[in-house]
Amino acid sequence: MRVYGIKNCDTVKKVRKFLEEAGVDYTFHDYKKDGVDADKLAGFVGEFGWEAILNKRGTTWRRLDEATQEGVVDAKSALDVMIDNPSVIKRPIVEGAAKNFIGFDAVAWEMALELGELK
């Protein structure tokens, strides 16, 4: 299992604590430290849709100039912005053994643990 995110993100901290308390082994990929793999990100966009991956509610998005924001109209333009600004990628994205996840919902994750989807 691999968790993608940013180390100081509150949601990522919750996820890491959840997984550690559940005894789930995982590798953490920090976008700030380890960079963004464009092909991997494109795969997530293909699976979840660029609208779900691009976080338009965060401060990084709000700090982008208007032209950049208005230029995001499809997967390609969204990928370009996310690669240049990893903080606009929704966090976390988790590659599980049987299923990938985006965001964190403790109840859904408890169920996924019971089904073996998070191991």
List the structure tokens of 70.
């208005």
What is the tens place of the pLDDT at every residue in 62-93?
A: 999 999 999 999 999 999 999 999 999 999 99
Q: Which residues are catalytic?
A: 9
pTM surpassing 0.85? yes
Contact assessment for residue 50 and residue 74, using Cβ atoms and an 8 Å cutoff: yes
Can you list the residues of the chain whose pLDDT is less than 50? none
Query: What pLDDT sits at residue 93?
Result: 96
Q: 58, 63, 69, 75: which is closest to 9 by C-alpha?
A: 58
Report DSSP state, residue 103. Answer: S
Q: What pLDDT score does 119 carry?
A: 67
